[in-house]
Amino acid sequence: MSAPTPTAPLDFESLRAAIRDQRDTLPKRLMQVAAYALEHPDEVAFGTTASIAAAAQVQPSTLVRFAQNFGFDGFSGLQLLFQARLKGRNSSYEDRLRQLESGGASETESSTILKGFVSAAHQSLDALSQAIDPAQLERAIDLLARAETIYLIARRRSFPIVTSMAYAFGKLKVRCQVVSSAAGNDDDLLALATPKDAAFAVSFSPYAAESAAQAQVLAHRGVPLVALTDSVLSPLATSANVWFELVEADHGGFRSLSASVAFAMALTVSVAERRRQL
């Protein structure tokens, strides 16, 4: 007997959950499509089958197989979920974009670039409150507030986030340790972490292998871990006790850290306040 046809997800969030549940069993090419779709949902919403396949570096037929794997008759049915996701937020964003572009030809190239990044930052910040589940936030604050030392893990583009947190934690008299030093003693620092401590890790696609490995080591040793990342397919998601998904909008392919820093600072101050109450 053939396997029963799965029921197609009714919305984007249900699709994300289905992808997360199948992350360990999806074939390599379908996982490639999943990663691209979750990282570039706007492009999937309005791209053509050919353009999406080219961007995801797969054959168009792979998109069809991906859609059918999740219960859709074809890729167009799946694409409707991505289009529906945009309906609620596009109107306000498009109004803002038109306002930013109202300068027209009188704007210099530099001003246009600046306004593009401002617009992307606004979009990221608008999505921030909806992206963070309040119950998960409270759980993360509690884990970090009860820690003797908070270990901060990040590399490359994510590194400014944890350095900002470290500065704020220092001002707030909360003991922390940034795990990324010029001395190259990261493993020695992490060896000091115990289940009485906690860690906060940040990594965005393409994920830093060092951060993922360090998060996994801490998880195996029973050290509570809170993570900030950008996809259910992130390696941090499998190691963390609590993790948050936040995708920054981009301008010209460059992503800022506007929403990520805002979230990190809110978490930092909340942890200090919770510690004061304990």
Q: pLDDT tens, position by position, for the chain (278 residues)?
A: 445 557 888 888 888 888 888 888 888 899 889 888 888 887 888 888 889 999 889 999 999 999 999 888 888 888 888 888 766 554 454 555 555 555 555 566 788 888 888 888 888 888 888 888 999 999 999 999 999 999 999 998 899 999 999 999 999 999 999 987 665 678 888 888 999 999 999 998 888 889 999 999 999 999 999 999 988 888 898 899 999 988 887 777 778 899 999 999 999 999 999 998 88
Rounded to the nearest 10 degrees, how much is the dihedral formed by the CA atoms of 222, 223, 224, 228?
Answer: -120
Residue pair 223/197 in contact (Cβ under 8 Å)? The answer is yes
Identify the bridge partners of residue 151 per DSSP, sorted by sequence position: 177, 199
Pairing outcome for strands 225-229 and 242-245: parallel
H helix intervals, 101-183:
109-131, 134-145, 159-171
Q: How many Å apart are CA 258 and CA 235, to the nearest integer?
A: 23
Neighbours of 17 (CB within 10 A): 13
Q: How many Å apart are CA 174 and CA 168, to the nearest integer?
A: 9
Look-up: residue for tokens 């990663």? 35
pLDDT at 102: 54
Pairing outcome for strands 250-251 and 254-255: antiparallel
What is the model's pTM? 0.74
pLDDT at 91: 47
Q: How many Å apart are CA 78 and CA 38, to the nearest integer?
A: 13
pLDDT at 88: 53
What would the two tokens of residue 106 be?
């009188």
pLDDT at 114: 84
Residue pair 237/190 in contact (Cβ under 8 Å)? The answer is no
Residue pair 103/111 in contact (Cβ under 8 Å)? The answer is yes
Q: How many Å apart are CA 275 and CA 41, to the nearest integer?
A: 38
pLDDT at 101: 54
pLDDT at 4: 53
